[in-house]
Amino acid sequence: MNKTKSRTVGQRVLSVLIAICVWLPDIGLGIHLAVPIKGFSMADAMGMASIFFWLLKIELFGILLLVVYAFWIKPWRHAGRVSIIFKINVYGASASFFLFANFIFGWCRLT
């Protein structure tokens, strides 16, 4: 069942906000892991942990918005770009969720 009505401004803003909240932590974590560390101190470790947990909070907020968006708009019923963008964001959110979960559980196992 495909709906052909156009999206409202609120739906478009929510879609952009979801994309930012889902992909910003992935990009930030990728940049963080790609930069070589020279001179590792406790202050550097605490700063990196702080950034990591802020990225995790942003990611969890993005997943929450994604669930609200799914129940409100039901993008799988729409044809075209709405459905494709929703699926891409779901794949990104699930990949980053498993990445963060693997990192946290691996870190907890070491302590």
Q: What are 35-93's pLDDT values in tens digits?
A: 777 777 788 778 878 888 888 889 889 999 999 988 988 888 887 888 888 889 889 88
Of 33 and 97, the one with more pLDDT: 97
Q: Assess if residue 2 is contained within a domain.
A: no
The residues, ordered by sequence, that sit 6+ positions from 110 with a Cβ below 8 Å of its Cβ are none
Rounded distance between C-alpha atoms, residue 58 and residue 111, angstroms: 25
Its domain, for residue 104, covers 9-110
Q: Assess if residue 4 is contained within a domain.
A: no
The model carries a pTM of 0.77
At position 105, the amino acid (one-letter code) is: F
Q: Assess if residue 49 is contained within a domain.
A: yes
Nearest to 69 by CA among 50, 83, 49, 55: 83
Q: 65 near 58, Cβ under 8 Å?
A: no
pLDDT at 29: 78
Q: Assess if residue 80 is contained within a domain.
A: yes
Q: How many domains does the chain have?
A: 1
Residue 32, Cβ density class (10 Å: 0-12 exposed, 13-18 middle, ≥19 buried): middle
Q: Assess if residue 3 is contained within a domain.
A: no
